[in-house]
Amino acid sequence: MNWQDVYEDVIALDFEFVAEDGERQRPICLVTKSLKTGNQTRLWVAEGAQCPLPIGPEYLYVGYFASAEWNCFLTLGWDLPISIIDLYPEYRRMTNGAVGYATRSGYGLLAAAGAFGVATMDANYKTDMRDLIMEGGPWTADQQNGILEYCATDVVITANLFRQMWPKIATDRLALSQALFRGRYTAAVARMEFAGTPIDTVLLTKLKSNWPELRLHLIKAVDQDYGVYEGSTFKQSKFEHWVSTQAIPWPRTDLGKLRLDEATFRQMSKSHTQVAALHELRITLAQMRTLKLHVGTDGRNRTLLSPFASKTGRNQPSTTKFIFGNSAWLRSLIKPQKGFGLAYVDFSSQEIAIAAALSGDPKMWQAYNSGDPYMAFAIQAGLAPEGATKSSHKAIRNRCKQIMLGVGYGMGAEALALAAGIHRVEANGLLNNHRMTYRIFWKWAEANQMRALMGEPLATPLGWKLQLRNDPDPNDRSLLNWPMQSTGADIMRLAACMLTEADIEVCCPVHDAFLIRFSLVDEADTIAQTIRLMVDASAIVMGDGYACRVDADIVRYPDRYMDERGEKMFSTITRLLDTLEATERPVLAD
């Protein structure tokens, strides 16, 4: 297929922009190149400009990591193009599962160009020019010309890379349409990044300025139940004593010492709830030491969502800069402004729904459809009687929940035992029960796993792909789980497109949920529309009449968002903060 047969023109483009922490991008200049005529347009846009580009569907726009370009469009108040191919997800997809050049060189423009034999610029030149741009100006006329020249170099590379990649992208009409869908998603990403998440900046400032003192009070308050700190120092020997008094089978290192890494604390606090507060304290102390949460002057948390960064095609935003990557209590900084509300709208048990729908396992779908798939599994497996409920059979439901979620995340018996706080034998038994109950699902999942291990490509309904190449040690568990996670990513991408195109203000995606902001005047309509669009997106991706359920948790001004796992810590911290602020402090002489 020639692009000339499908498009009036293909326009490669690149912006240079200033990106300060938490702020919207500030575009500096734009260079475009028409593949039809070879003409270049160079535009200095630092003081604003009218859009000089035709954006009808017959014009295909090509960029590399194009969400940055669309962020600039939004800052400039321009309409976004309709037909988009972003060569970054295309390159990421083509190399997904391959070990070698891509994993060594990364997924930047120069690496992709290198892989396709496209001449590139010197990496040092690129770094120097980026540094000059990030200084933020003002720039001399010579510097402006230099920046435009540099931008044009990137555009030429992008255009040449497109020519090389096009035959692999547009292998047929379906493949091209799927690439366009990924391009469409980069526009949704830009809209979400542009919106950002509203933060209570007053409280954030108080937290930061009082932290040195607050920290000591917090340790004292939480440590009352543990006795494992001396001042602000965590003492391993005291922790050893606490673990033995609680009779917790804490994992140890080869040298017999207690494991103190974050992953162990996370797992242990799931299986032994008494560990949770100490875990939260340790995370808080580590995170607050170097709090990197990016908040702009408009009070929004804003960071790169890093779309397509994981093998499953999911976003991978920074865990420190992104509010939902931080500890649960810090998320209580999320607060709508006056007259607005926020809704955390999530797909209910998305992985289970996808597993049931794609494998066609009627029993698993029946469990999902019951509204409580964990209890349904317990009943189907004969572990609880017919009619058992969440309140009548809490313990077995919790175990079944861990198993079902664990299977969705590709966990084995060992990890499941740790997560559920049960013996390995019991975890193995439950896993076997799962296998016996959902035999159709397991047959399907293992057949896909085998295909992947054979080096055959796996692809989701909307075309995200994985193909193992040169991997000396593939993770077979994650292959088992890849179809669910990746199809979940398909659903999230489509839903993000549908929501943002319907002018719903999506602050950010959060794994299988979206945080949206709405005016209190339009609350009912906006929530209903959001739910409907998300259900529709899941129905389109899963097909055959299957659809996910969607739930919404709503917060209205003056309330704040609250994650139940961080509620206790947040209330402790705000109480201590109030006490500190109420304490009269001596005025020190200069």
Partner 1 sequence: MTDDKNTPDPFDPAQFRAPNTLDGGGDGIRREFIHIRVGKPKSTVFFRAHADPAYRQAVYIIEDDQSMPKDNYLVVGDMVKALIEETKPKLLVLCVDRMGTPFLWVAPPQAEDRFHRTNLWNFTALKALKLAETKWVRMKASIPEQAYNTYTSPSVEEPDWPELSMNELLKLGFGEERIIRNMNHPLVRRLLGHD
What are 516's two structure tokens? 């949206």
| CA dist., res. 170 & res. 350, Å (int) | 31
Q: Which is nearer to partner 1, 111 or 459 (CB)?
A: 459
Smallest distance, partner 1 to C-beta of residue 451, A: 5
CA distances from 457 to 315, 452, 463 (A): 21, 6, 11
Smallest distance, partner 1 to C-beta of residue 217, A: 53
| CA dist., res. 372 & res. 368, Å (int) | 7
| CA dist., res. 342 & res. 510, Å (int) | 14
Q: Which residue, among 209, 516, 530, has the nearest Cα to 334 in the 3D structure?
A: 516
Smallest distance, partner 1 to C-beta of residue 383, A: 13
Q: Which is nearer to partner 1, 146 or 463 (CB)?
A: 463
Residues 6+ apart with CB under 8 A from 545: 539
Q: Which is nearer to partner 1, 95 or 178 (CB)?
A: 178
Q: Where are the alpha helices (DSSP H) in 224-275?
A: 236-245, 262-271
Q: Tell the residue number behind the tokens 């741009």, with chain if given.
A: 133
Smallest distance, partner 1 to C-beta of residue 58, A: 5
Contact 132, 147 (CB under 8 A): yes
What are 557's two structure tokens? 């001004």
DSSP state at residue 467: -
Smallest distance, partner 1 to C-beta of residue 4, A: 9
Smallest distance, partner 1 to C-beta of residue 546, A: 12
Smallest distance, partner 1 to C-beta of residue 424, A: 15
Q: Which is nearer to partner 1, 156 or 188 (CB)?
A: 188
| CA dist., res. 590 & res. 584, Å (int) | 18
**Beta pairing, strands 513-519 & 505-510:** antiparallel
Helices 424-437 and 413-420: angle between axes, nearest 10 degrees? 110
Q: Which is nearer to partner 1, 414 or 456 (CB)?
A: 456
Phi, psi of 549 (to 5 degrees): -80, 155
Smallest distance, partner 1 to C-beta of residue 231, A: 53
CA distances from 145 to 133, 137, 140, 177 (A): 12, 13, 9, 37
**Beta pairing, strands 513-519 & 300-301:** unpaired
Helix (H) or strand (E) holding 43: strand 40-44
What are 498's two structure tokens? 């549908």
Q: Which is nearer to partner 1, 56 or 138 (CB)?
A: 56
Residues 6+ apart with CB under 8 A from 533: 495, 498, 499, 502, 504
| CA dist., res. 336 & res. 526, Å (int) | 15
What are 410's two structure tokens? 């590709």
Smallest distance, partner 1 to C-beta of residue 357, A: 10
Binding site for partner 1 (CB under 8 A): 5-8, 57-58, 82-84, 173-174, 176-178, 180-181, 183-184, 358-359, 382, 432, 435-436, 439, 443-445, 447-448, 450-451, 454, 456, 458-463, 483, 487, 494, 501, 540-541, 543
List the end-to-end C-alpha distance of the chain, in Å, as a whole number. Answer: 77
Q: Which is nearer to partner 1, 446 or 553 (CB)?
A: 446
